[in-house]
A and B are shown apart, each in its own frame.
Chain A
């Protein structure tokens, strides 16, 4: 199963940094859309569908908000839809807002995949060589939010059972406040505990190694070469504005130069890579059974 996460953490890091970087800097809705589709398919394969549903609703609301707020601040653009208090509201500013929303959402989806695939042992492994404390901070920070949410649910459940039946909504609010206060206390105590426990285990000592099963194989090497080559190429295209949409004053698509064509092809392959690997793994698993 989980074929993509069998790659070496370093290669995965490069891959994610590249994909998220290109999605964020291209400012091209077509690129963002491809990135969103690839990321979403990968995210679906990683499971936790209930959570994904909630996330998608959040993304939809966020996207609508970004799209609708842009015309309030930006009035550039040729196609005036109507005037509000003598200020033009233009189709171009809606388009720009939509593109920004798509870019934001695609980056968020990829971050969701990243946090599921890059487990804390991988992050610690990656950073233990160059910056051990940074790796520790990163991995505990990534772990911190979900564990805090879990703890909050626990505390809140207990607090709710302590509340008498039929108590007013006001006391319901107080229950939430009490739970939150307990959560903060727990979080501070927990982090202090964890840090002293870790320093007892020698995490702060220089030269401490940690056990890992990650091996850099030929496959990793191939993927790394592909990533380095394609991301270098894509960032050069982006740097020369070869893939940029012009939004103001009128929408202008990037010219269909050879560079942009190669860029698009490479980008489709790149964002689909994790899904392809997962599919291949799934197929193998099915066939072997």
Chain B
């Protein structure tokens, strides 16, 4: 009986492990072959300058991860495929520039869309109870999740770390 249970567990584990793709850090960051190299393009910028004004409420130990000018990724151009989303460009940008990124998948939360928890070790609630990441396209904060916003040629994406949610929707 015990042996049978062990066998079932082992089979499940092998199936689980083989269905995952396990890669080393280098392999992950060097895998940028599937990037489109021409066509429509957008620009993306990641910045957290609001934290510089609210350093008091920043969690201990995170000071060193904030660039002096607050810009984690300066405006960079990316070629896009048709119907590519803001999230997909963010993911590519993070991978290309070795920026840490953690998201909550669309199946993991009640929003039904991807939610960006942290970029460059700066997470939601890291700088006060109303802090977190949000994005604007062409200066306008989108009302949809970042994986549903479809980009078009010449769009300008900004990922902004906000410390107070009050200005939401501006």
Interface residues of B in 42-65 (CB under 8 A from A): 60-62, 65
In this assembly, does B138 line the interface, its C-beta being within 8 Å of a C-beta of chain A?
no
Chain A residue, CB-CB nearest to B91: A86
Nearest CB in chain A: distance from B64 CB, A:
9
Interface residues of A in 50-96 (CB under 8 A from B): 75-76, 78, 80-86, 88
- What range describes how many residues of A lie at the interface? 10 to 19
Cβ contact within 8 Å between B23 and A83 = yes
In the complex with contacts A76-B118, A78-B121, A249-B100, A84-B22 CB distance below 8 A = yes
Cβ contact within 8 Å between A241 and B60 = yes
Cβ contact within 8 Å between B28 and A83 = yes
Cβ contact within 8 Å between B21 and A85 = yes
A-B pairs with CB below 8 Å: how many?
44
Cβ contact within 8 Å between A88 and B21 = no
In the complex with contacts A78-B121, A246-B60, A86-B28 CB distance below 8 A = yes
Which residues on A sit within 8 Å (CB–CB) of B21? 83-86
In this assembly, does A186 line the interface, its C-beta being within 8 Å of a C-beta of chain B?
no
Which residues on A sit within 8 Å (CB–CB) of B65? 249
| Cα(A84)–Cα(B19), bound, Å | 10
| Cα(A75)–Cα(B123), bound, Å | 11
Given contacts A76-B118, A249-B100, 6 further A-B contacts (CB under 8 A): A83-B21, A83-B23, A83-B24, A246-B60, A249-B62, A249-B121
- List residues of B whose CB falls within 8 A of some A CB: 1, 20-25, 27-28, 60-62, 65, 100, 102, 118, 121, 123
List 23 contacting pairs A-B, 8 Å CB cutoff, sorted by A: A75-B102, A76-B102, A76-B123, A78-B100, A78-B121, A80-B25, A81-B25, A82-B22, A82-B23, A83-B22, A83-B23, A83-B25, A84-B20, A86-B28, A88-B25, A88-B28, A88-B100, A246-B60, A248-B121, A249-B61, A249-B62, A249-B65, A249-B121
